[in-house]
Amino acid sequence: MVERPNGEPVLNGGPVLNGGQGLSREEAENLREVTSPNIVALFRVVHASSKIVGEEDGGIIDFDLASPLFDDGTSKAITAIYSPITQERAVRIIDQLQSYRHTVEALPPSDDEGLQMQIDFLKAKLRAFETFYGVNFANTLEISPTDYIRELMGIEPVLIGERRLEGQLQDVRETFALLGWSSYDRESIEAFRRSQLIDPAEIPGLMQTSGQDLLGELSRIIGRDFTPNFVAETDNRDEYWINWADGNRERFRLRVNTHARHAQRLTISKIESMVPHEIAAHFGQMFGWLNNPRLIPILGVTTVFDPEQITAEGIAQTLHLFVDGISEKLTEGAKFELEAEGLRQMVYNNIHKRISDGETIPEEEVREYIRHYCPAETDEEIAKQIKDRTEDPIFRAYLYAYGIGFAMHKWMAQSLNYDGRRRLLRLIFRQPVTPQQELNFVNNMLSSEHRGQYGRASTQSWEQFLAR
């Protein structure tokens, strides 16, 4: 990858994602099949089908950054062909996805490493969609739950070692103690949160104001302005999420879920902790992709069942560890909620992995294991989490991204120095990457070849670190 002296990848900056307008004529010709309205329309069909297995209004669909140039009626025409998604139509969609994947696999190598990473990412994305359709609609593919996670999320599911969990638990306890609480137990956690409850009507305004502030800190470290147009609003759904970000090239939207399921967690500290996650990270990342003219347009149409999610959710949960300016603006209460949520997701990661491997775990053992680390977790929430992670076609892969994503990115933030963290942010705020691509990028920075330029040389692999 060609770099500027400051280490930033050179991908020919420009105004907006309109169809790979920053590509050379030769590159555009090579990529002609995967930059056409047809593939954009097909991806929109794939994403729209998630409302059949997700929320009724299709709220699971993430971002659609593709240009209006692709809205020439093609999307509606192709949607009409494949809607509703019957088994026969699902097989036809898989055939189309495979055809595009074969086209991508036949592309000549690119001299631009950033563009080559996009091409390799697109291969993984197409494979993930083929798997999703083969399992859930066409009934042409039978794979284990663990393999399903690997194919959709782009990583081999692993258990997080008890030493890592205990280390994160210690971080949470120490952060909680800074708030004046001597005991990290259910009663203390609930008392802390009761003391911080906020009127839901105040939440959108607080997030809007704070979000602009943190986007400024992101702009400073990356070296370019991040100014997405976004709105924050409240919603009320019996879903696992407290907040959900989505949008198109015109405007991004953040919904805050005020359902009774989350009532005791809607505190001022929790709201603060959501701002770097949803606004600075998710909106910032999408704004960065939108303004990368060398991004293959189809990669701007995102959903939650493809292999960008571990990076997207991982950096969202840990952005304050990468950007000192963001960390300095957070209260100790917000930092506690971030660390506690990271621990919670790591614990569910292991339950998710064990159940996916076919292990039968008694309910009482599950509750005891989770409450050792998360004493305030309720029976109802544990039951709903397990149901989502084992039965829902989308969530049984996507929810795995949170725990492993948090652990991976906390490790990266602690291993990289300022220059290394900035270089990684500049990559993932320009284009999507699989978790393996991101690990390769970080491991290269930490290799002896760079002599500590980007951080301390790694003496063990990520997998070795995680298992300890």
Tell me which H or E stretch contains 199.
none
Determine phi and psi for 56, rounding to 5 degrees: -65, -35
Question: Which residues are 252's β-sheet partners?
Answer: 230, 247
pLDDT at 130: 96
Dihedral, CA atoms, 24, 27, 31, 32, nearest 10 degrees? Answer: 50
96 Cβ contact partners less than 8 Å away, ≥ 6 residues apart: 42
118 vs 20, residue with greater confidence? 118
Helices (H), 260-308: 268-275, 284-290
279 vs 7, residue with greater confidence? 279
Question: Which residues are 247's β-sheet partners?
Answer: 63, 252
pLDDT at 398: 95
> Picking from 159-163, 175-179, 317-321, 454-458, which range would have the lowest pLDDT averaged per residue?
454-458
3-class SS at 93?
helix
pLDDT at 154: 96
pLDDT at 13: 33
Domain boundaries, the chain: 1-468
95 Cβ contact partners less than 8 Å away, ≥ 6 residues apart: none
Banded pLDDT at 366 (limits 50, 70, 90): very high
The DSSP code for 277 is: I
User: For the segment 140-179, what is each residue's pLDDT rounded down to a tens digit?
Assistant: 999 999 999 999 999 999 999 999 999 999 999 999 999 9
Percent of the chain with pLDDT over 90: 68
Tell me which H or E stretch contains 230.
strand 230-235
256 vs 344, residue with greater confidence? 344
Rounded Cα–Cα distance for residues 49 and 85 (Å): 7
Is the pTM higher than 0.95? no
Written as six digits, the tokens of 456 are 């301390």
Task: Of 157, 85, 165, 139, give the one whose Cα is nearest residue 401.
Answer: 157
Determine phi and psi for 308, rounding to 5 degrees: -90, -10
User: For the segment 37-54, what is each residue's pLDDT rounded down to a tens digit?
Assistant: 888 888 888 877 665 444
Amino acid at 211: G
pLDDT at 240: 77
Averaged pLDDT, 368-385: 96
pLDDT at 157: 95
Averaged pLDDT, 391-401: 94
Banded pLDDT at 64 (limits 50, 70, 90): confident
User: Is pLDDT at 89 greater than 90 in this prediction?
Assistant: no
pLDDT at 66: 82
Residue 214 sits at the vertex; the CA angle it makes with 210 and 217, to the nearest 5 degrees, is 150
pLDDT at 56: 47
Cβ neighbourhood burial of 463 (10 Å; 0-12, 13-18, 19+)? exposed
Task: Of 174, 198, 176, 178, give the one whose Cα is nearest residue 187.
Answer: 176
Banded pLDDT at 312 (limits 50, 70, 90): very high
Question: Which residues are 233's β-sheet partners?
Answer: 255
Averaged pLDDT, 305-327: 97
